[in-house]
Chains A and B, each alone.
Chain A
Amino acid sequence: MSNWPTETKYISHATTRIDAPAKLTGKARYASDIQAEGWLYGMILRSKWPAAKILSINLEAALKIPGIKAAVTVKDGPRTIRFYGEELAAVAGTSKQACLDALRAIEVQAEPRHDFVVNEAEARKENAAQVWEGSPNSSKPQVRESGSVDTAFPECAAVVEGFYSTPIQIHHPMETHGNTISWTDDGVKAWASTQGISSVRDGLAGALQLNHSQVRVVTEYMGGGFGAKFGAGVEGILAAKLSKAAKAPVRLMLTRFEQALAVGNRPSSFQKIKIGATADGMLHAFEAENYGTAGIGGGGDGGGGGGGADITLPYLYKVPNSRVKQSVVAVNAGGARAFRAPGNPPASFGMESVMDDLAVKLGMDPLEFRLKNDPNPIRQREYKLGAEKFGWKQKYSKPGSSPGVVKIGVGCAAGAWPAGGGSSDTQGEAQINPDGSIEFRLGVQDIGTGTRTVIAVIAAELLGLKPEQITVKVGDTNYPPGPGSGGSTTCPSISPTVFDICQKALAQLQTQSGLADARGANWFAACKKLGVSPLVVHGKWQRGLSADRACGVQFAEVEVDTETGLVTVKKILGVHDCGLIINKLTLESQINGGIIMGMGYALYEERVMDDLSGVMLNPNFETYKLPGIADVPNIDIVLINMPERGVIGIGEPATIPTAGAIANAIANAIGVRVCSLPITPAKILAALGKVPPVTT
């Protein structure tokens, strides 16, 4: 079994991003920046009805618009539309303006359906409109039981009940979905904004009926994904078809409006929770019923539209007597896709909220209550370290006891991400030239997490070089295959792979050069001995250098103006473990990012659908509110260094506990619980009893 070096120059230290200069100077070209020779602009026509039978689509007039070179439908012939924004057709032309005019010239014959449903609670009713013909909207509930929950509740000294809800959250990466695609007789080249170049290749090859070897996908830079960017997408397939028809590359990027409607979201949750503990503060009984929507989901079989809206309850805690019932409900809205720690933020929010309320009922400090009921040794350490750094004992006081109009409160919550291990399919190669220059090639993506820099740092460390001396190329299906950048698996996938490449490279260099140690000062001499042939070393993921499962505990301090309901998050402390820290600098950025995204979930973000018209009311950044620079609190981070565990991913753990911590801090400040995210001023004022009843 191999081991990571313990005395390090670069690993676990801070190295600036090697792709920063390209991004900072505008030299970096994203899929939306590609200007391939003769490229055309592409655009999609979408359904303006939430439910309809499309009878026919006439592209004739669109094709006559000056500048338009191609127009295609998603599917010829009658089809059923199930959400506002579903794709109908696409055009390609020499300008954005031509495309806009062409879309307006497409004639769609449709029979709009007036029976549709966009609200989860409504969709569950007996007489609700059916999203999928002949299928109930709600799936059959799945039940998991342990112990004897019905007899356990009466045995509890304290019981707390609540109904917790979380909204549909939309990924909204700053670069929308899309590609620049060229389909010629030689095959397809796609510059994709994706987290998984292989998934795009496979998707395109399948849809276009090509061999995988005829499709090349390149992603040098991409503007964020958060789980939504896998697969070719309807937009990718349309771009390819347009390119073939127009005989030119087509750049088709979604608009922000389309991004909100059609390319994924985090399912909602509606959690009815009842939880009880014994007098000595041990969890004893737990009952929960949850449903959420994944939009139209994947299909109608078995009801509920398929798609995952399940969350794990009672989340991190082991309760001897429990019953959890889960179902998913379909609505006429865009389907869900994996979103940074799927299922975890809603579960953490619901669970950590009731934990706090139960602690209060028992008269216990919520932190002490968690230490009693969460035996995980890593989290125990994180709670204690965090409490000390945060000043928990000094800051915590009984709920609502903060004096004055603007109340201060503190809260904490935990999360754990079960995955984050490395993908054993990861491969890579390095080419070492006789002049000592070295280039790594991996078919992995850098989605903003600093993947390129991780590769450079590890290589520099193991080869005795500087990170600036390592050339890193990623994001090409022509390179050895790498993992999709999801599940917090990237770093633990590529790190052991780079380790393996470096070991093999050194072994070969040492053999060929006769030098016992080709690293560092000997590197150039060893390389020179290669003569005229560069050395290309192939490597793959090795066991023993990475692990999965990472935890995190977060503490939040908030101020709540009890007259206006405005919440200001003053401070968040994140205490996280992720095994061996490769690059401290980019790791901190990931944690900041997760926390800020969690804050958006807690306070600002929700998809708003209109029941009557079936449209989305906030498909933009005006009323779908992302946390801004003026909202972001001071964020402190404690990294638990556990090099003996190997490399583990951090992207998802960092965003799980934030909403729970903030919700608990708010409840602590104002003395009353808001059970529904986002916690807006409106909801705070309602919880405080300050909102007058409305007579209709």
Chain B
Amino acid sequence: MNKPEPENLGAHSRRTFLKSLGTVAATAATAQVTSVAAELEKVNAEKVVGPNAVPVTLKVNGQKLKLLLEPRVTLLDALRNYSTFTGAKEGCDRATCGACTVLLGDTPVYSCQKLAIEAQGEEITTVEGLAKNEKLSKVQSAFLDQDALQCGYCTPGFVMSVTALLKRNSHPNAADVKHACAGNLCRCGTQPRIIQAALKAAGVETASRTEVVDYV
């Protein structure tokens, strides 16, 4: 029976054929079959993984995490439930509250709406990765000073959003802070102080808005 030449196959059966060869064929490539190797490389780059768990490597706060995850596992799920990074919180799991905000590089994203498998190769920063040698970052210190937190559940998300803002714009005004943090919700009502904290981290002091008056 003739073995079909790779070049004559339609894309679909070429894929199946090459899949069945596995990667071993690459090492046996001759000049005539370099096109097979090229095809194999392409196939491997387009390799279908899952639905069962597959190895996923995530770089979190400089640390490499080697996990075994189904493709449907979100980055937030991977952080909170498959490793010990519980700093990012689950507030809604629907990209509406920002409690799960992490940085991919310098970019703030909702980790609940990002597949873990797609966060490979990124420098992921969570709130646990901001303090250096126990010393709070500028943003974290400012939040502390200005009391920009109450129950603390939305806090990691806001801290990441403000951190990202200051990386892009070291002299934001209140409107910039609001624009950067519109995707973060808080139920305790820390928003006024978050604005103050962000400005403070940028070197701008804001006056207290409270007056104490004796009754008598």
- A interface residue numbers (CB < 8 A to B): 12, 16-17, 19-21, 23-30, 32-33, 35, 41, 95-97, 171-175, 221-224, 226, 253, 255-256, 378, 381, 385, 389, 447-450, 577, 581, 584-586, 588-590, 592-597, 620-622, 626-630, 632, 634-642, 644
The smallest C-beta distance from A255 to any residue of chain B, in angstroms, reads 6
| CA A35 to CA B213, docked complex, whole Å | 47
Q: Is the CB of B195 within 8 A of A585?
A: no
Kindly identify which residue among B77, B127, B128, B151 contacts A96, using a CB–CB cutoff of 8 Å.
Answer: B77
Q: Is the CB of A635 within 8 A of B93?
A: no
Find chain B residues with CB under 8 A from A19 CB: 152
Interface residues of B in 148-198 (CB under 8 A from A): 149-156, 159, 177-179, 181-182, 184-195
28 contacts between A and B (CB under 8 A): A16-B147, A20-B147, A20-B149, A23-B149, A24-B127, A24-B159, A25-B87, A25-B131, A27-B128, A97-B70, A97-B73, A174-B99, A175-B91, A585-B147, A586-B147, A588-B147, A588-B209, A590-B150, A592-B192, A593-B189, A596-B191, A621-B94, A622-B96, A630-B179, A636-B211, A640-B213, A640-B215, A641-B214
> B198-213 vs A: 1/0 string, CB under 8 Å?
0000000000011111
Kindly identify which residue among A25, A226, A641 contacts B130, using a CB–CB cutoff of 8 Å.
Answer: A25
Find chain A residues with CB under 8 A from B194 CB: 629
| CA A590 to CA B195, docked complex, whole Å | 16
Q: Is the CB of B153 within 8 A of A173?
A: yes
Complex: chain B residue closest to A621, CB-CB:
B96
| CA A26 to CA B96, docked complex, whole Å | 21
Find chain B residues with CB under 8 A from A594 CB: 189
| CA A256 to CA B92, docked complex, whole Å | 5
Known A-B contacts: A592-B189, A629-B182, A632-B189. Give 17 more (CB < 8 A).
A17-B144, A20-B143, A20-B144, A24-B149, A24-B155, A26-B128, A28-B152, A32-B86, A35-B84, A95-B73, A174-B91, A224-B153, A385-B213, A584-B212, A593-B150, A636-B210, A642-B215
Find chain B residues with CB under 8 A from A172 CB: 187
Asked if B111 is at the interface of the complex by the 8 Å CB criterion, the answer is no
Find chain B residues with CB under 8 A from A644 CB: 216
- Name the residue among B99, B192, B214 with the largest chain A CB count within 10 angstroms: B192
- Name the residue among A223, A447, A627 with the largest chain B CB count within 10 angstroms: A223
The smallest C-beta distance from A228 to any residue of chain B, in angstroms, reads 11
The smallest C-beta distance from B156 to any residue of chain A, in angstroms, reads 6
Kindly identify which residue among A29, A385, A620 contacts B94, using a CB–CB cutoff of 8 Å.
Answer: A620
Kindly identify which residue among A32, A586, A593 contacts B89, using a CB–CB cutoff of 8 Å.
Answer: A32
**Number of B residues, CB within 8 Å of A:** 65
| CA A253 to CA B90, docked complex, whole Å | 10
| CA A594 to CA B128, docked complex, whole Å | 30
Asked if B15 is at the interface of the complex by the 8 Å CB criterion, the answer is no
The smallest C-beta distance from A409 to any residue of chain B, in angstroms, reads 22
> B70-95 vs A: 1/0 string, CB under 8 Å?
10110001001100111111111110
Complex: chain B residue closest to A586, CB-CB:
B147
Kindly identify which residue among A12, A221, A584, A635 contacts B192, using a CB–CB cutoff of 8 Å.
Answer: A635
Kindly identify which residue among B72, B99, B190 contacts A593, using a CB–CB cutoff of 8 Å.
Answer: B190
Complex: chain A residue closest to B214, CB-CB:
A641
Kindly identify which residue among A95, A589, A621, A637 contacts B97, using a CB–CB cutoff of 8 Å.
Answer: A621
Contact A589/B147 with A26-B85, A35-B86 known, Cβ cut-off 8 Å: yes
Q: Is the CB of A24 within 8 A of B92?
A: no
The 6 A-B pairs of least Cβ separation, nearest first, read A26-B87, A448-B151, A593-B189, A223-B153, A23-B152, A596-B189
Q: Is the CB of A638 within 8 A of B147?
A: no
The smallest C-beta distance from B195 to any residue of chain A, in angstroms, reads 7
The smallest C-beta distance from A221 to any residue of chain B, in angstroms, reads 6
| CA A529 to CA B149, docked complex, whole Å | 40
The smallest C-beta distance from A595 to any residue of chain B, in angstroms, reads 7
Q: Is the CB of B212 within 8 A of A629?
A: no
Find chain B residues with CB under 8 A from A171 CB: 187
Complex: chain A residue closest to B126, CB-CB:
A26
Kindly identify which residue among B185, B188, B193 contacts A448, using a CB–CB cutoff of 8 Å.
Answer: B188
Find chain B residues with CB under 8 A from A224 CB: 150-151, 153, 187-188
The smallest C-beta distance from A352 to any residue of chain B, in angstroms, reads 21
Asked if B136 is at the interface of the complex by the 8 Å CB criterion, the answer is yes
| CA A513 to CA B145, docked complex, whole Å | 38
| CA A223 to CA B81, docked complex, whole Å | 18
Contact A95/B81 with A595-B189, A621-B96, A630-B182 known, Cβ cut-off 8 Å: yes
Kindly identify which residue among B84, B88, B94, B211 contacts A639, using a CB–CB cutoff of 8 Å.
Answer: B211
Q: Is the CB of B195 within 8 A of A639?
A: no
Interface residues of B in 22-60 (CB under 8 A from A): none
Q: Is the CB of B145 within 8 A of A26?
A: no
- Name the residue among A173, A221, A590, A642 with the largest chain B CB count within 10 angstroms: A173
Q: Is the CB of B212 within 8 A of A581?
A: yes
Find chain B residues with CB under 8 A from A222 CB: 151
Kindly identify which residue among A33, A35, A641 contacts B212, using a CB–CB cutoff of 8 Å.
Answer: A641
Q: Is the CB of A174 within 8 A of B212?
A: no
Q: Is the CB of B151 within 8 A of A589?
A: no
Find chain B residues with CB under 8 A from A639 CB: 210-213
Asked if B101 is at the interface of the complex by the 8 Å CB criterion, the answer is no
Find chain B residues with CB under 8 A from A221 CB: 151-152
Kindly identify which residue among A20, A96, A174, A389 contacts B185, using a CB–CB cutoff of 8 Å.
Answer: A174
Find chain B residues with CB under 8 A from A97 CB: 70, 72-73
Contact A26/B156 with A35-B86, A588-B147, A632-B192 known, Cβ cut-off 8 Å: yes
Q: Is the CB of B128 within 8 A of A589?
A: no
| CA A299 to CA B164, docked complex, whole Å | 50
Find chain A residues with CB under 8 A from B86 CB: 26, 29, 32-33, 35
